[in-house]
Structure 1
Amino acid sequence: MNTHRYLRAFLAGVFVPTLVLPLMLVVFIVVRLAFQVPYPIERGLVFPMALVPVLWGVWNMLWAWSRSMTNLSLGAHGAILVGLIIPAGTLIGRWLGIIQLGETSATKFGHFQIPYALVGILFCVAVAAYYLIWKYVVGFVNRTLGVA
């Protein structure tokens, strides 16, 4: 099955976020409506719901195109994506007024302040999670669709 290799790579890439993001939407709706959180969570959902699956698909296409030249593993390639998504999300969050980077030693997210040390730990956790998801889940879908 050598036809439309990059289309299959795109579909393999969008598989995981397409399944996970609606579940996150349900959690956000329950938190917003059931627990009456006075913070407008829905403003921060537009970016990930619209852009993250496309980024994953394009990123997987880029891996399929460049793997013979770079010999980079799929997990490492996926972990690099965190370095693109988090700054882009932070910029859009600042633009929408969801995230405020203060002069203190914390990031203000809505009504919550997150210390920079915790932000660094969460970044490391995100890199590890992306590595594992890309290595095992996206790798499995790539093998199933004949991309890898």
Structure 2
Amino acid sequence: TVYTLYGFRLYLEVPSQFVLAMPARPLARALVFPMAIVPNLWGAWNVLHLKLRSRLHVPLGAFGAVLPIMLFPGGIMLGRLLDVFSIQWWLAIPIIPIGMAVYYLAWKYIVGFLNQEMGIA
């Protein structure tokens, strides 16, 4: 067990030292939280769409494309809070429409398909 824990520590430290040139601890702190929050937000966002679809009449893809507008500032705030990275806004703002387009397609085709399979579409 000690060897496994030691190997796991090296797994987190060695790639980050050679690939990203930063210590593993901030990188691990920055990755664990979004990996837990983003899937939960997708689920909550889907439930919200199902609840409001009779009142709003917004297509699923368009509703999903709004999610990066909230995720992007939250991710930047988390990065600054954990002192992992800082982003210059003028470089980051052009990425938001690209993220919205990717989320639109993912929500329209993947989430829409899964909702149909579950019988909740």
Contact 1:78/1:131 (<8 A) preserved: yes
- In structure 1, the residue matched to 2:46 is 60
C-alpha distance in 1 between matches for 2:70 and 2:93: 15
Q: Which is helix-richer, 1 or 2?
A: 2
C-alpha distance in 1 between matches for 2:112 and 2:19: 40
Structure 1 position 29, deviation (Å): 8.6
C-alpha distance in 2 between matches for 1:30 and 1:131: 36
C-alpha distance in 2 between matches for 1:42 and 1:70: 39
Matching of residue 137 in structure 1 with residue 120 in structure 2: no
Closer/same/farther in 2, CA of residues 94 and 63 from structure 1, 3 Å limit: same
Within-5 A mapping of 1:1-148? 32=16, 35-39=18-22, 40=24, 41-101=27-87, 107=88, 116=90, 118-148=91-121
Specify the structure having the higher radius of gyration (Cα): 2
Contact 1:47/1:89 (<8 A) preserved: no
CA deviations 1:16-58 (Å, max 9, x no partner) are: xxxxxxxxxxxx999526x443223222102211101110000
C-alpha distance in 1 between matches for 2:41 and 2:47: 10
What's the TM-score once normalised by structure 1's chain length?
Answer: 0.65
What's the TM-score once normalised by structure 2's chain length?
Answer: 0.78
Q: Number of paired residues?
A: 107
C-alpha distance in 2 between matches for 1:29 and 1:69: 50
What is the SS of the residue equivalent to 1:62?
helix
Indicate the RMSD between aligned Cα atoms, in angstroms: 2.2
C-alpha distance in 2 between matches for 1:29 and 1:145: 41
- In structure 1, the residue matched to 2:6 is none
Which sections of structure 2, spanning at least 5 residues, go unmatched?
A: 1-11
Q: Which is strand-richer, 1 or 2?
A: 1
Identity %: 41
Structure 1 position 134, deviation (Å): 0.2
- In structure 2, the residue matched to 1:20 is none
Contact 2:64/2:103 (<8 A) preserved: yes
